[in-house]
Amino acid sequence: LARNTVSEDTGRLELEIDGIGLKFRFKPSDTSYARDLMENVRSGVINQCSFAFSLDYGDAEADEWRINEDEDIYERRINKINRIFDISLVTTPAYSDTEAVVGARSLEKVEQLKERRNSSDEALKMELELLGLVLPE
């Protein structure tokens, strides 16, 4: 759907590390597969992520293991990723704390742009009518 090596608007993947972990944004390619997937994310059918990566095992600080005594499980903290190979939107992730959502702000922005364009088209039509000019069909 997107790559971080694509220079165009569509199909562009942006990766960012924040205080929680890996964050990504993308504008999917214009395909039926992408539209279907985005609708499944909007509806909540697909709502999590998974990713394939490698660590630099020569770096002792790349990851750490500890026991969570409250839950009686081992937890792994990944501190340094060497390379990310793939990010996927999935129903069953490797890490359950992930989340996939369609950016509501992006959808709102698209709607605002549509409204502005429609209102400016109407304003232009009214102005041309007032001047007695006819719009070409």
Q: What is the pLDDT of residues 28-37, one digit of tens each?
A: 888 899 889 8
Beta bridge partners of residue 89, listed in sequence order: 49
Q: Check whether residue 47 and residue 32 sit in a common domain.
A: yes
**Cβ neighbours of residue 52 closer than 8 Å, sequence gap 6 or more:** 84, 85, 86
**Residue 105: is its pLDDT beyond 60?**
no
Residue 23 corresponds to which tokens in the numbers above? 């964050």
Helix locations, 1-136, DSSP H: 32-43, 104-130
Residue 60 belongs to domain spanning: 1-101
pLDDT in tens, 55-87: 988 898 899 999 999 989 988 888 888 888 888
Q: Check whether residue 16 and residue 75 sit in a common domain.
A: yes
pTM: 0.59
Distance CA 17, CA 105 (A): 20
Q: Check whether residue 94 and residue 114 sit in a common domain.
A: no
